[in-house]
Amino acid sequence: MFSRKSTGIPGLDRILKGGYIANYSYLIRGGPGSGKTTLGIHFLTQGVSEGERCLHISLSEPVDSIKRNFEAMGFDLSRIEFLDLTPSAELITSPSEQYTLFSPSDVERSPTTKKIIDKIKELKPSRVFIDSMTQFRYLIQDVFQFRKQVLSFFRFLKENNITCLFTSESSADAPDEDLQFIADGVIELENRPEGRSIYVKKFRGSDYLKGRHSMTITERGIRVFPRLVPERKIEEFKIELISSGVPEIDQLLGGGLEKGTTTIITGPSGVGKTTLGMQFIKEAAGRGENSAVYLFDEDKETLLTRCDSVNIPAHIMEKKGTLLVRYIESLKYGADEFSDIIRRDVRGRNIKIVMIDSLSGYKVGIKEGDISIHLHALCRYLKNLGITVILINEVASVIGDFKITEIGASYLADNIIFLRYLEVEGELRKAIGVLKKRLGDFEKTLREFSITKYGIKVGEPLRGLRGILQGIPQIQKKEQ
């Protein structure tokens, strides 16, 4: 079993299944401003917090600049040792010098390498960060010699029980494919218009969480949000029905929603989708169960006040702790970060129902890729925990051709409840029906639906009408 070294970034530790493997060397790749140095500083400050000796070797940025920038971000660098090998200001006025990188046995012939080896022997660190290894490439032109000497240097680090991170600045003039082969692991950072990301390209000796993961850099450093990958069912739970508290809706659903299923409530704007979802959450609160609502389209106070006005005591539920409501800014949070928020909430607050309102707002946060992929992972993860998921979906058309969703996500649902506007003799009315129920039978009729100050009211099945799904029902004449 390998010993691990924490990266200093909890999300990255999860991706690496515990952190870097001790005494291995890892290449951190990325363009300018991608966060390579910040990743290295996290690695060193974590080591210091665990009582380890740590060394930062800088070949590209003066140490004074590094300290000034990272101390302004709140990092304590006082116990990190620094070796500054960047060119001094006097270099431009002095004769040019020729440096060559040699193996430890020939270290006396290389001033740069001698300083590094001497410092390591003096300090005996367990963590070393080299920023950047590209500078070594300029010290030796022969590709074979460079590879040979770097291999020798990494062997020296391993023999001295050192875990090393090193960066590279790949370019056409200085490619780093050889460093990728030599390194025990390769971690790539990207900073693209759609957002920052991190992924592991190579991780010798261990499994890791594959794929591209979201990353942000804040005034306090790096935060990593691993992709949510559903695993096998880890919690056993019994299938049981969840009542809406409205007898007619329960009749439509053949008794209610099954625990641990995913339900899509779909319909046009203002038809009552969110209120219907909150009705299930109200009943859960009555049973003493906790629920969480994630809002993309309206703010928290608007929802709570609106629910109070239709006999759903949302403010009281929140005060008692049975209801958690979070407003999610789509342009601020990506899909991985949003999934991480839900993961922490359901684990920390014993959540039984999760409602996302709405899928159109959630889609804005998907800066790349297919929304159904992210939704599939999230819903499967929650289902494996026995959590009931309610997804609110808004369709663009008020009347006309019937459509479940406009993002192709209906296959994710175990249950589909739809709400429609009806125009009957010049009057605007609403109808509710069930289109799908995977785990049981359901009522095939539609019922009139309304929301009053006393709560949701559902009428008897609408009979003698046709064309309801088109929104313009017509009275069906009885045959004489």
- Give 172's pLDDT tier (boundaries 50, 70, 90): low
3-state secondary structure of 246: coil
Residue 402, pLDDT above cutoff 70 = no
Which of 120, 119, 98 minimizes the C-alpha distance to 109? 98
The better pLDDT of the pair 389, 150 is held by 389
Which pLDDT belongs to residue 103?
44
Average pLDDT score over the chain: 87
Confirm or reject CATH 3.40.50.10470 for domain 241-475, answering yes or no.
no
Chain segment 34-93, per-residue pLDDT in tens: 999 999 999 999 999 999 999 999 988 999 999 999 999 999 999 999 999 887 655 445
Nearest to 139 by CA among 150, 151, 131, 155: 150
Structure confidence at residue 6 (pLDDT): 97
Contact 395, 407 (CB under 8 A): no
Domain 4-225 grouped into CATH 3.40.50.2300:
no
* Position 437, amino acid: K
Contact 447/432 with Cβ under 8 angstroms? yes
Give mean pLDDT, residues 7-32. 96
CA distance 11 to 77: 22
Range of weakest confidence among 34-38, 198-202, 237-241, 399-403: 399-403
Q: Which of 108-112, 220-224, 254-258 has the lowest mean pLDDT?
A: 108-112
| Alpha carbons 122 and 105: distance in angstroms, whole number | 17
Q: pLDDT class for 368, splitting at 50, 70, 90? A: low
Residue 99 pLDDT grade (very low, low, confident, very high; cuts 50, 70, 90): very low
Tens digits of residue pLDDT in 270-315? 999 999 999 999 999 999 999 999 999 899 999 999 999 999 999 9
* More confident position, 465 or 415: 415
Q: Taking residues 370-384, what's their average pLDDT?
A: 88
Q: In the chain, what percentage of residues exceed pLDDT 70?
A: 84
Cβ atoms within 10 Å of 224's Cβ, excluding its own: 24
Average pLDDT over residues 347-355: 95
d(CA 26, CA 8): 15
**pLDDT of amino acid 471:** 53
Q: Is the pLDDT of residue 174 over 80?
A: no
414 against 193, higher pLDDT? 414
Per mean pLDDT, which range of 53-62, 240-249, 395-404 is the poorest? Answer: 395-404
- Residue owning tokens 């009957």: 424
The arithmetic mean of pLDDT across residues 256-270, rounded, is: 94
Question: How far is it, in rounded angstroms, from Cα 282 to Cα 288?
Answer: 10
pLDDT for 104: 42
State how far the Cα of 101 lies from the Cα of 145, in Å rounded to an integer.
9
Query: 141 pLDDT band (50/70/90 cuts)?
Result: low
Q: E-assigned strands of 182-336?
A: 185-192, 195-203, 213-218, 221-225, 241-242, 257-258, 262-267, 290-295, 323-327
Confidence bin at 410 (pLDDT 50/70/90): confident
> Can you give the residue ranges of every domain in the chain?
4-225, 241-475
Query: Residue 353: pLDDT above 50?
Result: yes
Residue 462 pLDDT > 90, yes or no? no
Provide the b/e sequence for 271-297 (b: ≥16 CB within 10 Å). Answer: bbbbbbbbbbbbbbbeeebbbbbbbbb
Q: Across 369-426, where does the E strand assignment appear?
A: 388-394, 415-424
Distance CA 52, CA 126 (A): 6
Residue 453 is predicted with a pLDDT of 95
Question: Is 4-225's fold the same as 241-475's?
Answer: yes
* Amino acid 66: pLDDT: 95
